[in-house]
A = this chain, B = another copy of it.
Amino acid sequence: MTVHTATCTAPVNIATLKYWGKRDKSLNLPTNSSISVTLSQDDLRTLTSAAASADFQEDQLWLNGALESLDSPRTKACLADLRALRAAVESADASLPKLSQYHLHIVSENNFPTAAGLASSAAGFAALVSAIASLYELPQDMSELSKIARKGSGSACRSLFGGFVAWEMGALEDGLDSKAVEVAPLAHWPTMKAAILVVSDDKKDTPSTTGMQSTVATSDLFQHRIHEVVPKRFEEMKKAIVNKDFETFGELTMKDSNSFHAVCLDSYPPIFYLNDTSKKIIKLVHKLNELEGHIIAAYTFDAGPNAVIYYDEANEAKVLGTLHKYFAQVQGWDKKDASALNGGVDIDGVDPEIYKGVSKIILTSIGQGPQKSTQSLINEQGLPKN
């Protein structure tokens, strides 16, 4: 049997200007533009192999070792778009195999726990689209492919690029102008680092799609956020990135995280993602910046209690040293020498038990976009190797 395969990796991205609100639910068209930093795939990535064969009986997906449904309208929309692009390629060159007509086997694995609430769906759909686009040898550029990933999971479109990425909301009803673009590549500001504090939480968060719909429908402050606050911040943040101005970048990042959680709280019933540990981390970061006299660390929180703290490598001794002072008992420090972690400062009034609310620390940095990989997860029969 002939099995055509391709394998790609894709990164996680963490928004610094938040996506919250859809103007079209089925196309995942947002109510505002957003900006993110792509994180290193050394620490967080999805690896996806895609295979097509005339011998496959149906489309199948294995995710982290388990067979998963491909029936969701979102996944189907992605596959249909990719097949249509492949069909166009095939119709231009009759010598090509008719992969667009074959069923697909897709095998995908994360190098981090899905449950940690770390934007795994963004990396997942970005890797899915990248792997199939590679298998299909599609000529489209990443911005074009980002429109397909967007249909799978809105923020997935931003994982098609490395470095700093903007998702331009677009204005068209069909979403053809709602796509990711590069603000600056990894090489522009490679010293951007991130410490992720995985915060333990006993409750189930409101799923982000449900939460967004509720905010759009009920928050009185939301319209002001999307029409007045975010458009201005979008331009300011892009400029701060281009200028490598951490101070401005950090302030805007923290303000936008707070603005996003404010409109969640203003929803009816209110939506809460930050817990008491998240709030203690926010206060710690503000006090550290205050002690320094300027912003050297910037927190951001997605639809959950986990903190992502961005900082420039130049301030690593102070930022990581201070975090280590309060979270030394948490796992995740082993990639750093002890000597790299003793530059912290004492912060007044930090709860000495703050570490109990954090289950894991992930030290990472800005990273690259999707990469082709030779590490196929699919064997010659088109089935998962493991």
Contact = CB atoms under 8 A, between A and B. Distances in A.
Interface string A255-290: 100110111011111101001100100110010000
A181 B220 CA distance: 27
Interface stretch (A106-114, A142-150, A222-230): A222-230
A43 interface: no
Nearest to A283: B269
Number of copies: 2
Contact of A262 (B254, B263, B269): B263
A354 to B, nearest CB: 12
Nearest to A258: B270
Prevailing SS type, chain A contact patch: helix
A224 B266 CA distance: 13
Interface string A183-210: 0000000000000000000100000000
A255 B268 CA distance: 7
Given A221-B221, A229-B220, A275-B276, A258 B268 contact: yes
B276 A266 contact: no
B258 A266 contact: yes
Nearest to A266: B262
Interface of A: 202, 220-221, 223-225, 228-229, 251, 254-255, 258-259, 261-263, 265-270, 272, 275-276, 279, 282-283, 286, 351
